[in-house]
Structure formats: C-alpha cells, structure tokens
C-alpha cells in the first residue's frame, strides 16, 4: 500500500481525465477518505486487500483466454471476460493495466458485478474500490460475500 498519494490524485480521478466517467461516481469525498473508510471496513471483516484482489484475479483467470466465451465455474459463478485493446492508465501513476471487463454472475447471492484489471490493481496496491456510484465500485462487504471470502 502506498504511504503517500500523488498530490493530484483527486484531479486524476475526475471524469474525462483518464477515462470517460472517471473513478469517483457521485462521491464527493476525497480519495484518501474513501480509501481510509474502505480499509476500515475490510479490517473489521478480518480481511486484507491481498485476499480480495487475489480472489478476483483467480476468478478472472478462469474466464480469460476464452475469447469472451461465458463459462461456469465452481458451481456458483458464470464469468465472461471481455478483452479490449489498449492500456488502461493507472491514476495513481503505477503500471497501466490491460483493458477488458470481467462480468461475474453469482448464483448464490443472485448478484452480478463487473470489474477489470485496473479495479483489481487499485484495490491491491492502494486499497481503492472506487467512489460511490462509480460503475466498477462494489462495496467491500458485498464483494467479500460474492467472492465467497466471508469469515
């Protein structure tokens, strides 16, 4: 986890800077406050960002290299991994990530969620799950439940 956020991180997260809709949704909080609150939730649930991002990576891998064919895995999920060309820049200044959404339907909870490699990277490296209302944000407690990680 980085100790110091880039000075212009809140600006980098705005719509139209690095991607069309930005990373904050309707959330008016500062990025550092979003991160702090989500990390506190995770800690309360006895989880770490590594456990969460590792599991997301594991599930994405099960749907990758199938050229967007939908697959059923673990008798619980249906996964389809989109594969788009070009890099997705990291607003925190880290390595650009591969473009392409992972669409996951969880038959156990009845929920459908979407993430991509940049979402996973930002959770792992910075504890950033997105601002509320942002397309890729999944509330940490909901995500932990969908990923089957609840303790």
At closest approach, how far in Å is the CB of 79 from another protein?
13
In the range 90-109, which residues lie near another protein by CB under 8 A?
90-91, 93-96, 98-101
Cβ–Cβ under 8 Å, residues 25 and 130 = yes
Cβ contact 126:92 at 8 Å: yes
Residue-wise DSSP of 19-63 = SSS-S-TT--S-HHHHHHHHHHHHHHTT--HHHHHHHHHHHHHHH
Element housing 112 (H / E)? strand 111-116
Smallest distance, Å, CB 28 to another protein?
A: 16
Residue-level length of the chain: 151
Least separation in angstroms between CB 40 and another protein: 28
> Measured from the CB of residue 53, what is the shortest distance to another protein in angstroms?
20
Residue whose structure tokens are 């009845």: 110
Pairing of strands 87-88, 71-73: unpaired
Using the contact rule CB under 8 A, the part of the chain among 8-16, 25-33, 105-113, 125-133 near another protein is 8-16
86 binds another protein (CB under 8 A): yes
Q: Which of 34, 52, 64, 138 binds another protein (CB under 8 A)?
A: 64
Helix (H, G, I), strand (E, B) or coil at 97: strand
- For residue 33, the minimal CB distance to another protein (Å) is 22
Judged by CB under 8 A, does residue 33 bind another protein? no
Residues near another protein (CB under 8 A): 12, 14-22, 64-70, 81-91, 93-96, 98-101, 135
């Amino acid at each position: 986890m980085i100790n110091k956020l880039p000075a212009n991180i809140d600006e980098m997260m705005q719509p139209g800077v690095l991607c069309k809709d930005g990373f904050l949704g309707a959330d008016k909080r500062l990025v550092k406050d979003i991160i702090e609150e989500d990390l506190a939730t995770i800690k309360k649930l006895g989880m770490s960002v590594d456990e969460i991002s590792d599991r997301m990576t594991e599930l994405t891998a099960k749907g990758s290299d199938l050229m967007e064919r939908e697959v059923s895995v673990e008798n619980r999920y249906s996964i389809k991994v989109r594969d788009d060309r070009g890099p997705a820049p990291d607003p925190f200044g880290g390595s650009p990530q591969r473009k392409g959404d992972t669409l996951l339907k969880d038959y156990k909870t009845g929920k459908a969620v979407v993430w991509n490699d940049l979402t996973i990277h930002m959770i792992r490296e910075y504890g950033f799950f997105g601002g509320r209302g942002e397309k890729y944000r999944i509330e940490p407690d909901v995500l932990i439940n969908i990923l089957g990680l609840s303790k």
